[in-house]
């Protein structure tokens, strides 16, 4: 039995008029074949060679990967796996030559040809040359739509990634103390997520303290020392087994002033509103508009999307934006992140991962949003 993600990838290729999907983005390779190598030091920092997945319109598939990714490749769902030498100790590896030879080999084994669907933003020139396709089409759009609702296997992975993020937020509430740096607290938060995952995890997101930084809303942690009564934003997106969790907590370390509570309650009300109205059929732009109106009623706004789908990529289609006319569907996992920012007070953004069910929605791994942390 074909994994449903592989099947959907094959169908996306077919619907786009392609005989083959040629995948070169790390997230789509993970989606189609379950190949999830580490990415925390960029892709293949040692071996430097490309990774490529091939999926035929009937679901036959193969993978070409450098030897640093060998363990991940062996654990993948690919029918044919060709590992090429990108790194060796007793001679210098000819990365480009070895990759080209691997492509030639898999082309023969699988009979790759005809119309190819590719991801042009990451397609290597050497791959395009080796394949010598008669015609290559952009397959991004059908792939994006195929991935919008999650399969049964993915639902379990998404809940686990959301739980990893929730563990991070618990550690955030526990470890934030005046006198520690943002990086100190972030280290504990990260350890909680990594211990849950059982391995190092890539982490996207934001970690901010103080009025100016939280009012700006985005940025990675720095060595700023956290002070008493500082507002904090902890936006945590850990990648576990190739799937991203996400979440955002905002809190004052000490005693929140009235102005801060107003920001907090504004964002909380909008998030609560989302949980009331999210269900199959609601249009992404309408949900986005509803959340913006809720925040605007209190006199605030936010300069970013209201949320986004998530999976093997941290941002997926659809996003909650004014231009997105797609209706939500059962099986989507949507990040919802309304916010309120005030340069005189700071920023509050509250985010949960929300699963769309047959009749409504439910948070994938809810954690408490607290306006303050005891200092």
Q: Of 2 and 204, which has the nearer Cβ to a second copy?
A: 204
Helix (H) or strand (E) holding 312, with range, is none
Query: In the block, which residue shows the tokens 């189609």?
Result: 32
d(Cα 256, Cα 230) in Å, to the nearest integer?
9
Task: State how far the Cα of 130 lies from the Cα of 98, in Å rounded to an integer.
Answer: 12
Assess 115 for contact with a second copy (CB under 8 A).
Answer: no
Q: Which residue has the tokens 């100190």?
A: 184
263 to 292: interface string for a second copy, x by CB under 8 A: ------------------------------
- Residue 323 lies near a second copy (rule: CB under 8 A): yes
Choosing from 8, 9, 12, 26, the residue that interacts with a second copy (CB under 8 A) is 26
Instruction: Tell me which stretch binds a second copy (CB under 8 A): 121-129, 145-153, 247-255, 352-360.
Output: 121-129
Number of residues this chain uses to bind a second copy (CB under 8 A): 60
Counting contacts by CB under 8 A, is residue 45 touching a second copy?
yes
Helix axes 182-197, 152-175, angle to 10 degrees: 140
**Burial (CB count <10 Å: 0-12, 13-18, 19+), residue 351:** buried
Rounded Cα distance, 309 and 287, in Å: 13
CB atoms within 10 A of CB 245: 35
Q: How far is the CB of 318 from a second copy (least distance, A)?
A: 10
CB of 265 to a second copy, least distance (A): 24
Q: Shortest approach of a second copy to residue 292 CB, angstroms?
A: 12
194 contacts a second copy (rule: CB under 8 A): yes
What H or E segment, with its residue span, contains residue 321?
none
Residue list 65-94, contact with a second copy (CB under 8 A):
89-92
Residue with smaller CB distance to a second copy, 43 or 277 = 43
121 makes contact with a second copy (CB under 8 A): yes
d(CA 353, CA 163): 10
Helix 152-175 and helix 4-15, axial crossing angle in degrees, nearest 10: 110
Asked if 132 is part of the footprint of a second copy (rule: CB under 8 A), the reply reads no
**What phi-psi label fits residue 210: left (phi over 0), alpha (psi between -120 and 50 degrees) or beta?**
left
Using CB under 8 A, pick the residue from 23, 203, 291, 339 that binds a second copy: 203
Site for a second copy in 48-67 (CB under 8 A): 48-50
d(CA 156, CA 178): 37
Q: In this structure, are residues 81 and 45 in contact, taking their beta carbons and an 8 Å threshold?
A: no
Position among 17, 46, 178, 276 found at the interface with a second copy (CB under 8 A): 46
Q: Which of 2, 191, 296, 326 binds a second copy (CB under 8 A)?
A: 191
Please pick, from the candidates 17, 111, 113, 120, the single residue that binds a second copy as defined by CB under 8 A: 120
Judged by CB, which is closer to a second copy: 25, or 250?
Answer: 25
Nearest in space to 62 (alpha carbons), one of 85, 79, 37: 79
Radius of gyration of the chain (CA): 22
| Binding positions for a second copy, rule: CB under 8 A | 25-26, 38-43, 45-46, 48-50, 89-92, 95-96, 99, 120-128, 138, 181, 183-184, 186-188, 190-191, 194-195, 198-200, 202-204, 220-223, 239, 303-305, 313-315, 321-323
């Amino acid at each position: 039995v074909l994994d449903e993600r592989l099947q959907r990838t094959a169908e996306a290729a077919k619907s786009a008029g392609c005989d083959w999907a040629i995948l070169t983005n790390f997230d789509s390779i993970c989606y189609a074949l379950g190949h999830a190598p580490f990415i925390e030091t960029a892709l293949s920092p040692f071996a430097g060679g490309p990774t490529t997945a091939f999926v035929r319109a009937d679901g036959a598939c193969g993978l070409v990967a450098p030897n640093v990714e060998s363990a991940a490749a062996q654990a993948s769902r690919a029918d044919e796996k060709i590992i090429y030498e990108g790194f060796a100790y007793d001679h210098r590896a000819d990365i480009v030559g070895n990759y080209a030879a691997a492509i030639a080999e898999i082309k023969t084994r699988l009979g790759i040809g005809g119309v190819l669907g590719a991801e042009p933003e990451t397609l290597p020139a050497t791959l395009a040359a080796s394949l010598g396709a008669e015609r290559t089409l952009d397959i991004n759009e059908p792939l994006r739509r195929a991935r919008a609702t999650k399969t049964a296997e993915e639902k379990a992975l998404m809940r686990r990634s959301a739980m990893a993020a929730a563990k991070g937020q618990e550690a955030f509430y526990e470890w934030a103390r005046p006198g520690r740096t943002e990086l100190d607290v972030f280290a504990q938060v990260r350890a909680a997520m990594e211990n849950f995952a059982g391995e190092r995890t890539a982490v996207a997101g934001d970690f901010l303290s103080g009025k100016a930084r939280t009012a700006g809303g985005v940025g990675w942690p720095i060595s700023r020392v956290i002070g008493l009564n500082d507002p904090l934003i902890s936006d945590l997106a850990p990648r576990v087994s190739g799937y991203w969790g996400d979440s955002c907590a905002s809190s004052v370390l000490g005693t929140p002033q009235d102005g801060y509570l107003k920001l907090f309650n504004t964002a909380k009300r909008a998030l609560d509103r989302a949980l009331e109205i999210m269900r199959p059929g609601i249009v992404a732009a309408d949900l986005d508009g509803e959340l913006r109106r809720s925040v605007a009623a209190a006199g605030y706004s936010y300069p970013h999307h209201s949320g986004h789908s998530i999976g093997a990529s941290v941002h997926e289609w659809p996003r909650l934006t004014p231009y997105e006319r797609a209706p939500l569907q059962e099986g989507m996992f949507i990040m919802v992140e309304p916010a309120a920012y005030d340069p005189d007070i700071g920023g509050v953004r509250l985010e949960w991962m929300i699963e769309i069910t047959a009749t409504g929605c439910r948070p994938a791994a809810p954690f408490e949003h607290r306006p303050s942390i005891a200092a």
